Structure 1
Amino acid sequence: MRRSPSQPPAIPGLRFERQLGAGGFSDVFLYEQQLPRRQVAVKVLLAEHLSEQTREAFVAEANLMAQLSAHPYIVTIYTADVAPDGRPYLAMEYCAGPSLAEQAKLRRFAVADALRTGVRLASAVATAHAAGILHRDIKPANVLTNAYGWPALTDFGISQAVELEVPTNAGPGRPGDVGSTGASGTQTVGLSIPWSPPEMFEDEPHPDVRSDVFSLAATVYTLLAGRTPFEIPGQSNGAADLISRIERGTITPLGRDDAPASLVATLQKGLAKDRANRFESAVDFARALQRVEMELAYAPTPIDIPNLVQPQSQTPRPDTSSSASDETRVRQVPTVEAQPRPGVPSVQPPVGDETVVRSAGPLVQPIQPSAPITVGAASAPSETIRRDRLETAAAGPAEDPDADTDGRGGRRRLTRLLVVGGVAVLAVGGIAAGIIWQGAAADPKPTAAATGAPIQLSDVPSPKPFGVNISEDGSVVTFIWDNPDPQDGDSYIYQVTSSGKNSPKVPTSTYAVDLKPSAPGAQLCIEVVIVRGGVTSPDPLEMCSQQ
């Protein structure tokens, strides 16, 4: 039974209009601000959850939120204060449009719309991670629509600050603690089961940026499928059912014939049961979605990550690009680690958008980013999302003459650097590539293809395995590979080697192929080479399906 809404506080300079929503720890009201005149959403903490510690935590968390308010896909915070009746409140941007949850109930998103929304949300989440903030409750209901029709992520750690339970002997928090509010101790964690990663269901959950990546992937999946990744239509989908499927990695097939294998593989990697097999960061997830956009000949959606580092800490590099109009605005994104996960609830009713709150352990802390992890065949769960088709369309990327490109077998990386003060765009080629592709050289050496010199056999690398995915019934195997040194004009040739006879060599411009084994569950192996200027890789990549 839902509680009655609280009374809206009388706030100087604001005139109450109506209630917008209610949560477990706060109510949201619509007010009209008198000067400047505009509508604002005001989130007010409930009186029964107030204490000196939560007041202090609220102020500190509001200060963290202010760092993110300039982002185009994050709800803007106007002010934070305490109402005359003693309740803290936040005055925020009023987003009049429907949330993604409301939109997904009405229709399934087109692939292009879901990709664009996913990249924009990943930009918002990466910005929060760079500021040392984990969201921990990413779901369609927490993504509103602003006046421009853009997604606007909300509830960034606000409930986290409200729900802190700080011991009286707690010492000061360390600078840069993720979600830190100036005190250390235990806290409660928001948990929306259908979009939560399996680590959140352990007795002592320790989420990190990859936990938010899981929820991002689950949100994009929901937009495409019209349901959450672990719901099975016509079956019981209570909390215990969903938790069991999430912990087993049992993803329900997407059911979209227009979704390419690369998109399915991207979602599966983001939803991997083991966080070590997920994308290392929200930026990596966004880049994967961009590659799908370019494969489908869509213009890639920019990854917008503003500068969150002090200017004096930057080391300018010379501009190595002649065009800076379409690069992604980026900054290095530190990863963050560790946070609590609630125990498995025993409830059985169908699970909606409500956030379940459990007690958890210490606050998380930023850590240094680690190298990207490659997904291999052994890590791919058998319950996967697949399309029943034999051939992958060889759709190439859309050509953009003004973009700074780095082809990945038809996929291009676009980077944009936003400089503090808006004075200039610096190091477009060097810094952007180095930031986005961790460890990449700032001044790459010219290749044989770029200089016009003859391509040698040693110039063509062998493909690297990206993943082998099998449909639930075993009738379709998807092989996905990667090009470690992509160049414009690269293509691929694959050949089935498990049939016991010489199968034809099939050229393709994509980096994924769907094949049907001779019988469901039968082993299927292929060899793949890169073709560059008529020269192929000296050592083919061999990939086999699981037994």
Structure 2
Amino acid sequence: MASQPPELDGFHFIRLLGSGGFSDVFLYEQELPKRSVAVKVLLTDGVDEAARARFVAEANVMARLSAHPYIVTIFHAGVAGDDRPYLVMEYCSGPSLADRLKRERIGVEDALRTGVRLSSAVATAHAAGILHRDIKPANVLTNALGWPALTDFGIASALEELPVHTTTLSELRREPSDTATSGSRSVGLSVPWSPPEMFSDDPDPDVRSDIFSLAATVHTLLAGRTPFEVPGRSNGTLDLMGRIERGMITPLDRTDVPASLTASLRRGMATRREDRYQSAVDFARALQRVELELGLAPTSIDVPNLSVGDARPAPGGSGDEQETRARAVATIRAQPEERPAAPVREAAEAAEPVAQEPAATRVRGVVPVVPQPSVAAARETAVPEHTVLRSRPPAPADDDTAAPPAEDAPVTTPRDPRRRLLTWIGVGAAAVVLLGVAATILANVLAPTAAPRTPAAGTGGDDGGIAVTVVPPPVLVSAVRAPDGASATFAWKTEHPEKGDQYTWVQEGTTNGPSVTTDPKVTVTGLTPGVPVCIDIATVRAGRTSEQLKACTS
């Protein structure tokens, strides 16, 4: 039975949202500013020093990560009049992923998009030095925009301050359950999504442990059940732990899931940590490549800009030596996977440099990180060895004073006119080859200006790469504020417009959803004079959306 909601100044109780082992969550209405909020209240029976410490740690962790679009925002923390600690959080009106699984079949596109966005949230936590340690569908809510929102950092830990004890296999030889706890010093463990290293007597999780749980969560979305659950057989806690330790993933029973996605999920849930993706961004990029393979618009990876420098190279140095810019989030665009020979593939990816576009081209301080052509691609366009012209060594002097040649030096013979003719023919042939190579390289450089190819879903281009139609972003024509300041008119255009183009726009700083129009012009009303207004505009063409244009007027 749920506890009684506490009396909180400035908040009006609405109803119970959910109840857990250590806390209850209630829906309140905040009076100022007026909005619906979720209030998580620690249960009286569970309040001891360890519980209080975990509750405070959760508040501090969520406060550090709340700026991310896919992490639940925390507004306030305090202690109620009845001495119960509470958190005031963003109210996510949509169902959790666990609830969605109970009533619908989640499509591949939705699962990929959700996986990339959750990877962004997990990467953000890792960049802040935080392990979530309990990623599962029930801990992913849906906000008012339909976006996933990662929550419940109740057992999250700083990377350098891991707890001394978690629930182990020997402690679970009692009644099995999905989430197991043991004693006040133990920390909850969601077994169906936990990696094998968490079952040891002295667990030492790291970022790859979260990646296992992340991949297991995406697998659950596609399968409709946990990855190690076998229909028709015993699926107790001990059964699941044994299968997890042996890497016995139940195959996906879906024909619409490509083999590349299955392989990515299996790598993410590898038994050995060394065989998994080494970062959440790496896992997100793998999902992006599947999106490109299916002809889908790749979902952006939004990560904290903790190590992204200025796009302009410093004089006499590389971009890596520059100071970090003060921006909140960097968006990493999708990059198709290169196909060099297997032994050199990882080395090519590791050596791949990353360049950046100017910060002014993005919205809300977001910096796009665009990958440069890979080492493998560079090898494909390199000039063949046999076509390179090399200068001939100087002939020895004709006079008697010339130094005698070394014993291993080549013997020089008198020039033959026919040989000279053959030499010039060879030079001419080499020049023709070089001109052909240069023309090919120039054509590749200029290729983006031509109409991009749109292959069928799941197919690649002629060179083995993946061709994706890019929708051109809008370009601002004018932004004019009315004389009374109560409205503003924005006009824009799109290069190479096509019939059927539509535009979405949304006013920043409001809770209104995006609006759709076919006219590249809109008037925003109800403005406050003297307060700047900005809107985000994007072109929608054939189901694909362009990069956003941020248009502002004061």
Tell whether the structures are fold-level matches, with TM greater than 0.5: yes
Q: Does 1:25 align with 2:25?
A: no
Counterpart check, 1:509 vs 2:483: no
Q: Is the 8 A contact 2:329 2:366 kept in 1?
A: no
Which residues in structure 2 correspond to 1:49-88 (within 5 Å)?
49-52=46-49, 54-88=51-85
In structure 1, which of residues 128, 133, 136 is the aligned counterpart of residue 130 of structure 2? 133
Cα distance, 1:43 vs. partner? 0.4
TM-score (norm 1): 0.57
**TM-score, normalised on structure 2?**
0.56
* Unpaired runs of at least 5, structure 2: 164-183, 320-327, 341-348, 389-443, 448-461, 467-554
Whole-Å separation in 2 of the counterparts to 1:236 and 1:26: 30
Higher RCO by CA contacts (8 Å cutoff, separation 6 or greater): 1
Q: Which residue does 1:177 correspond to in 2?
A: 160
The whole-number CA distance in structure 2 between the counterparts of 1:268 and 1:146 is 29
> Does residue 224 in structure 1 map to residue 222 in structure 2?
yes
- Cα deviation code 1:4-44 (max 9, x no counterpart): 21111101111111111111111111111111111111001
Deviation at residue 61 of structure 1 after TM alignment: 3.6
Unaligned runs of 5+ in 1: 162-174, 181-185, 322-327, 333-402, 460-486, 490-506, 512-547
> Letter of the aligned partner of 1:206 in structure 2?
D
Task: Give me the whole-angstrom Cα distance separating, in 2, the residues matched to 1:404 and 1:115.
Answer: 13
Equivalents in 1 of 2:300, 2:368: separation in Å?
Answer: 18
Aligned counterpart, 2:533? none
Selected match of 1:198 from 179, 196, 199: 196
Q: Is the 8 A contact 1:122 1:285 kept in 2?
A: yes
Indicate whether 1:207 and 2:205 are aligned.
yes
Structure 1 residues 56, 232: closer, same or farther in 2, change over 3 A?
A: closer
Task: Specify the alignment match of 2:99 in structure 1.
Answer: 102
1:265 pairs with one of 251, 263, 278 = 263
Counterpart secondary structure, 2:18: strand
1:106 CA drift (Å): 1.9
Native 8 Å contact 2:120 2:302 kept in 1: yes
Q: Conserved in 2, the CA contact under 8 Å of 1:232 and 1:252?
A: yes
Q: Distance in 2 between matches of 1:458 and 1:30?
A: 73
Higher mean C-alpha displacement, 115-124 vs 197-206: 197-206
Higher helix share: 2
User: Which residue in 2 is equivalent to 1:152?
Assistant: 149
CA distance in structure 2 between the aligned counterparts of 1:29 and 1:404, rounded to whole angstroms? 39
Q: Which residue of 1 aligns with 2:414?
A: none
Q: Percent identity?
A: 58
Q: Relative to 1, partners in 2 of residues 1:231 and 1:42: Cα closer, same or farther, differing over 3 Å? A: same
> For residue 120 of structure 1, what is the aligned residue in structure 2?
117
Q: Secondary structure at the match of 1:67?
A: helix
The code of the aligned residue for 1:113 comes to D
Q: Which residue in 2 is equivalent to 1:93?
A: 90
Asked whether 1:279 is paired with 2:261, we answer no
Please state how far the C-alpha of 1:242 moved relative to its aligned partner.
1.1
Instruction: Specify the alignment match of 2:235 in structure 1.
Output: 237
Q: What displacement does 1:454 show?
A: 3.8
Tell whether 2:32 aligns with 1:35: yes
- Following superposition, the deviation at residue 408 of structure 1 comes to 2.4
| Deviation of the 1:448 alpha carbon | 6.7
Measure, in 1, the Cα distance between the counterparts of 2:67 and 2:133.
Answer: 21
Q: CA deviation at 1:107?
A: 2.5
CA contact (8 A) 1:133 1:178 kept: no
Do the aligned partners of residues 253 and 33 (structure 1) sit closer, same or farther apart at CA in structure 2, a change above 3 Å counting? same
In the alignment, the residues of structure 2 paired with residue 242 and residue 10 of structure 1 have an alpha-carbon distance, to the nearest angstrom, of: 42
What does the per-residue CA deviation read over 1:471-523, in whole Å, with 9 as the maximum and x for residues that have no partner? Answer: xxxxxxxxxxxxxxxx999xxxxxxxxxxxxxxxxx99379xxxxxxxxxxxx
Is the 1:79–1:91 Cα contact (8 Å) retained in structure 2?
yes
**Whole-Å Cα distance in 2 between the matches of residues 243 and 458 of structure 1?**
60
Quick one: which amino acid aligns to residue 155 of structure 1?
Answer: D
Q: Distance in 1 between matches of 2:386 and 2:142?
A: 52
How far residue 200 of structure 1 moved from its aligned partner, in angstroms, is 1.3
Match of 2:338 among 399, 408, 432: 408
8 Å CA contact retained: 2:54, 2:155: no
> Secondary structure at 1:97's aligned position in 2?
coil
Deviations 1:149-199 (Å, cap 9, x if unpaired)? Answer: 11111102x2458xxxxxxxxxxxxx973579xxxxx95322111111111
Aligned partner of 2:6 in structure 1 is 9
Q: CA deviation at 1:244?
A: 1.3
Which structure 2 residues correspond to residues 270-419 of structure 1 after superposition, within 5 A? 270-308=268-306, 315-318=309-312, 330=330, 408=338
Q: In the alignment, what sits opposite 1:540?
A: none
Q: Shift of residue 306 of structure 1?
A: 2.3
CA shift in 2, pair 1:18/1:244, >3 Å: same
CA contact (8 A) 1:417 1:425 kept: no
User: Post-superposition shift, 1:416?
Assistant: 7.4
Q: What whole-Å deviation, never above 9, does each CA across 1:356-401 have from its counterpart, x for those lacking one? A: xxxxxxxxxxxxxxxxxxxxxxxxxxxxxxxxxxxxxxxxxxxxxx
Equivalent pair of 1:160/1:190 in contact (CA under 8 Å): no
Is the contact made by 1:317 and 1:426 (CA closer than 8 Å) also made in structure 2?
Answer: no
Q: Secondary structure at the match of 2:301?
A: coil
Q: 1:82 to 1:404 in 2, by over 3 A?
A: closer
After superposition, what is the alpha-carbon deviation per residue over 1:437-482, rounded to whole angstroms, capped at 9, x for unaligned? 9xx9xxx8994766xx6455999xxxxxxxxxxxxxxxxxxxxxxx
C-alpha displacement of 1:144: 0.7
Amino acid at match of 1:408: E
C-alpha displacement of 1:405:
5.6
